[in-house]
Copies of this chain bind each other. A is one copy, B any other.
Amino acid sequence: MHIEAVDFFYLAMPEVTLEADGSQDALLVRVAAGGHVGWGECEAAPLPSIAAFVCPRSHGVCRPVADSVLGATLDGPDDIEAIAARVRYDSMDLLQAAHTFSGVEMALWDLLGRARGEPVWRLLGYRESTAKTPYASVLFGDTPAETLERARRARANNFRAAKFGWGPFGRTDAAADRDQLEAAREGLGPDGVLLVDVGQIFVEDVARAAERLPALEAAGATWLEEPFAGSAFEAYAELAAQSKTPLAGGEAAHNVAMARHLMDFGKIGFVQIDTGRIGGIGPAKEVADLAVARGVTFVNHTFTSHLALSASLQPFAGLAEHEICEYPAEPKPVATAFVANPLARAADGTLKAPDAPGLGVDIDLGAARDYLLDIDIRVGGRSIYSTPAI
Contact = CB atoms under 8 A, between A and B. Distances in A.
Interface of A: 10, 12, 16-22, 24-25, 43-48, 50-52, 54-64, 88-89, 92-96, 98-99, 166, 199-200, 203, 229-233, 252, 254-255, 257-258, 261, 265, 373-381
A17 to B, nearest CB: 8
**A25, A58, A254, A376 — which one has the most chain B CB atoms within 10 A of its CB?**
A58
A58 B277 CA distance: 15
Given A16-B59, A376-B377, 16 more contacts: A17-B60, A18-B59, A22-B58, A25-B59, A44-B58, A45-B58, A45-B62, A45-B96, A47-B51, A48-B51, A89-B203, A95-B254, A232-B257, A265-B265, A374-B379, A377-B378
Nearest to A16: B57
Copies of this chain in its oligomeric complex: 2
Contacts of A377: 47, 375-378
29 contacts: A16-B59, A17-B60, A18-B59, A18-B63, A20-B59, A20-B60, A21-B59, A21-B60, A22-B93, A24-B58, A25-B58, A43-B93, A44-B93, A45-B52, A45-B55, A45-B94, A45-B96, A51-B51, A92-B252, A95-B95, A95-B99, A95-B254, A96-B96, A231-B257, A231-B258, A261-B265, A374-B379, A375-B379, A377-B378
A258 B265 CA distance: 13
Shortest beta-carbon contacts, A-B, top 4:
A47-B55, A231-B257, A96-B96, A48-B51
A120 to B, nearest CB: 24
**A55, A59, A255, A265 — which one has the most chain B CB atoms within 10 A of its CB?**
A59
A199 B93 CA distance: 11
A361 to B, nearest CB: 21
A110 B150 CA distance: 49
Contacts of A22: 58-59, 62, 93
B373 A375 contact: no
A87 to B, nearest CB: 13
Nearest to A258: B231
Given A95-B99, A261-B233, A261-B261, A55 B48 contact: yes
Contacts of A47: 51, 54-56, 377, 379
A95 B102 CA distance: 13
Nearest to A233: B261
Nearest to A25: B58
A60 B18 contact: yes
A92 B230 CA distance: 9
A179 to B, nearest CB: 23
Contacts of A44: 58, 62, 93-95
A93 B304 CA distance: 14
A111 to B, nearest CB: 25
